[in-house]
Structure 1
Amino acid sequence: MTYELPDLPYDYDALEPHIDSRIMELHHDKHHQGYVDGANAARDALEGMRDSEDFGDIKSVKRALAFHLSGHVNHTIFWENMHPDGGGEPGGELADHIEADFGSFEAFKSEFAAAAGGVEGSGWGLLCHDAASDELIIAAAENHQNQTPQATTPILVCDVWEHAYYLQYENNRGEYVDNFFEVIDWDDVAQRFEQCHGNTI
C-alpha cells in the first residue's frame, strides 16, 4: 500500500470567485502531491530500518511521516469539505451540536475564523470531534499537526498556508477565511460528524 493523490471532486475553477482556478491547480497538483510523496518516502525509510534493524535515524523519519501524512490527510478532507454549491449554514444534528457547544452558529464562525486567522506562520483552522468529551472543539494547527489535541478527529478544515490563498488574497488571510465559508459543503461536514459522534475514549 502507498498513499495516493485523490482526484479533486470538482474542476479547478469550480470554486471561483472565492478560490481561483490557478490556486486550486497548484495547490492540488503540486503541494498535495508533495505531501503524498513525502509520506511514501518516510514509509519506505521505515521499512528499510525494519529490514536492517538500524533505527538510528528514526526520530527524523517519524517527524517526516507525521508532517507529510498529516498534510495528505488534511488536504484530502479540505477538498471534500468544499463544493461549488456550498455555503450557508448547517442543519440537523450538526447544527444542534454547534449551537450547544459554541452558543450559536455565528459564535462558532467567529471562533473558527479567529483560530484560523491567528495561526502563527503556516497551518490550519480545524473543527474537530473530541472523543474525550463527545463534543465539538475548534483547534489551530501549526504546520499540519503541531498543537492539535489528541483524541480529536477533524471534520472541517481550512488551509491557511500561504499557498492556499496568496495568489488571490495576498496577505489578507482574514478575507480568504471569510470566503472559505462561502464554499463549505455542510453535508460533507455533517457526514463526518455522524461517523464520529458517540465514539468516545
Structure 2
Amino acid sequence: MTDISRRSLAAGAGLLAGALAFGTRAQQMAPQMATAIPVPKITPKPLVINPDKVKGLSGDLLRSHHDGVYAEEVKKLNAIGEELSKLDLAQVTPQKLGDLKRDEQAAHNSTLLHEIYFDGLSEAPTQPSGLLAQALSRDFGSFDRWKAEFRLIGESLNAGSGWVILAYAPREKRLLNHRTENDSMAPAGSVPLLAMDMYEHAYAADYGTDTAKYIEAFVQAIKWTSAERLYREAMRV
C-alpha cells in the first residue's frame, strides 16, 4: 500500500470517527432539548376593593373585567408557558416558536397591566402626595398638566384597544406617559406605576363608545397610594 493510500485511509477513518462522535453527541443532546422544564403557575390576584363602591365604574363591569378578561389572560399565559416548556427545540419550527413567544409576551404584558389597573382603583378619591406628587410636578410641569396629557392620550385610543401607562424610566430618572395600541407594545426599560385599560371591555358596558366619560371616571378613581408605592420601589431599580 502506498503512503498516499495509507494517508487517505487514515483520513477516512478519522472522518468516520468524527461523524460517529457527532452522532453520539446529537443523540445525547436530543433528550435534553425535548425534556420539559418546570414553569411556575401564575394565580390571578383578587380584587382588593369592593367593586360596587368605585365611583363611575359599575360593580358588574369591574367583576366581568376582573373575573372574565383578566382571569382568562392569566389562564392563557399559564397554558402558553406549559406548551413552551414541553417543546422539543430540535423539532419545532421557528415559526411555531415565534408565534408562541409573541403570544406569551402579549399575555404577560396584559396580566401585569391588568393587575396594576385594578390595584390603581380606589373606593374613595385621593390625590398624589409625597415624592410622587413632586415628581409629577417636576416632569410634567404640574399635576393638572399631567392629567390633561393622560386624558388626551386615552382619547387618542378610541378604537377599542390599548393602554395609557404612567411609568418611571430608570435610565432618564423621570416619569413618562406611554401610549400602547395593544398588549404587545410594552415601554422598554420603564416601570409601570399606573395603567388605564382602553380596551372596550373596560368601559363599553357602562359608557358605550363614550371613552371621554370613562377616562374621567378612571382618573377620578385613581388610588394614588398604590402608584406612589410602586414609584418608591422603581426608584431603587
Which has the larger share of helix? 2
How does 1:126-165 map onto structure 2 within 5 Å? 126-146=165-185, 148-165=186-203
Query: Structure 2: 5+ residue runs without aligned partners?
Result: 1-39
Q: 83, 91, 104: which one pairs with 2:129?
A: 91
* TM-score (norm: length of structure 2): 0.79
Larger radius of gyration: 2
Q: Given the superposition, is the C-alpha separation of residues 90 and 20 from structure 1 closer, same or farther in structure 2, using an over 3 Å criterion?
A: same
Tell me the secondary structure at the aligned position of residue 99 of structure 1.
helix
CA distance in 1, matches of 2:110, 2:84: 18
Letter in 2 for 1:134: K
Q: 207, 211, 225: which one pairs with 1:187?
A: 225
* TM-score (norm: length of structure 1): 0.92
| Equivalent residue number for residue 14 of structure 2 | none
| 1:62 pairs with 2:101 | yes
How does 1:112-127 map onto structure 2 within 5 Å? 112-119=150-157, 120-127=159-166
Task: Name segments (4+ residues, structure 1) moved above 6 Å.
Answer: none
Letter in 2 for 1:165: Y
Contact 2:161 2:181 in 1 (8 A): yes
CA distance in 1, matches of 2:223, 2:189: 24
Q: Deviations over 1:48-97 (max 9, x none)?
A: 11x55433111100011011111111111111111102x34211111111
Letter in 1 for 2:67: D
CA-atom RMSD in angstroms: 1.4
How does 1:33-112 map onto structure 2 within 5 Å? 33-49=71-87, 51=88, 53-56=90-93, 57-85=96-124, 87-112=125-150
Q: 10, 22, 26: which one pairs with 2:49?
A: 10
Contact 2:50 2:123 in 1 (8 A): no
- Structure 1 position 128, deviation (Å): 0.4
| Equivalent residue number for residue 31 of structure 1 | 69
**How many positions carry a matched residue from both structures?**
195
Contact 1:127 1:155 in 2 (8 A): yes
Query: Structure 1: 5+ residue runs without aligned partners?
Result: none
Tell me the secondary structure at the aligned position of residue 92 of structure 2.
coil
Letter in 1 for 2:120: N
CA distance in 2, matches of 1:35, 1:54: 28
Tell me the secondary structure at the aligned position of residue 222 of structure 2.
coil
